Amino acid sequence: MTETEALIRLLLADDHPVVRAGLRAVLETEPGLTIVAEAATAEAAVTRAAEGDIDVVLMDLQFGKGMNGAEATAVITARPGAPRVLIVTTYGTDADVVPAIEAGATGYLLKDAPPEDLAAAVRTAAAGRSTLAPTVADRLMNRLRAPRAALTRRETEVLALVAEGLSNQAVGRRLHLTEGTVKSHLAHVYAKLGVDSRTAAVAAATDLGLIRR
């Protein structure tokens, strides 16, 4: 009772009941941690986190419906005195990690982390320091070494349609562009990605997380 160390109060945000139960089982036996609430949607997590009695939010990135975890993280961390947000998700792909961290997440763990790592990460997050799963850290390092071949909005739009199998002409119709313009955008994409065909561009962009699926 004379401890200066306060209890770390947690909010679990995940749409899977099983995962929430698992996190609860793993974390509530830890000394110094207490789970004060659960949320099954990102929206619920946002409103609950605003009540001010939470120190760390464990946030999934994928929710079945509505807002995603990164968006929720951005909203939560925007207000003063906000809790720390620790991302706990299944996959650590390039495309997921960066937006989450930009949104203000304090750490990023994969769900296959052993329980002790999880608890340690929660304590680290509560103290305001960062934790990154090793595989995620690797990915980030690679990202920094080989700086993102940023595509412009238009280039991404064009490439996304190409990835669905549309021809240049079809892409042009869809975006109200001439076939020539589509070719022009694609030529820039090829140069940026270091490839020389649409299919190779789709493969490269998918690997880099620049487009989905």
Residue 187 binding target from a copy of itself, DNA, none, CB below 5 to 8 Å by type: DNA
Instruction: Give 74 or 185: the residue with its C-beta nearer to a copy of itself.
Output: 185
Residue 186 binding target from a copy of itself, DNA, none, CB below 5 to 8 Å by type: DNA
Quote the CA–CA distance of 133 and 8 in Å, as a whole number. Answer: 21
Smallest separation, CB 104 to a copy of itself (Å): 23
202 in contact with a copy of itself (CB under 8 A) = yes
The answer to whether 67 and 42 have CB atoms below 8 angstroms apart is: yes
Over the range 74-90, which residues count as b (16 or more CB within 10 Å of their CB) and which as e?
bbbbeeeebbbbbbbbe
Site for a copy of itself in 27-66 (CB under 8 A): 64
Residue 190 binding target from DNA, a copy of itself, none, CB below 5 to 8 Å by type: DNA
The answer to whether 33 and 10 have CB atoms below 8 angstroms apart is: yes
Look at residues 29, 40, 88 and name the one whose alpha carbon lies nearest to residue 63: 40
Distance of CA 61 to the CA centre of its chain: 5
Residue 152 binding target from a copy of itself, DNA, none, CB below 5 to 8 Å by type: DNA
The answer to whether 127 and 82 have CB atoms below 8 angstroms apart is: no
Site for DNA in 161-180 (CB under 7 A): 167-169, 175-180
18 in contact with a copy of itself (CB under 8 A) = yes
Sequence letter at residue 77 = T
Smallest separation, CB 125 to DNA (Å): 34
Quote the CA–CA distance of 176 and 186 in Å, as a whole number. Answer: 15
Smallest separation, CB 81 to a copy of itself (Å): 29
196 in contact with DNA (CB under 7 A) = yes
- By CB under 8 A, the count of residues binding a copy of itself is 37
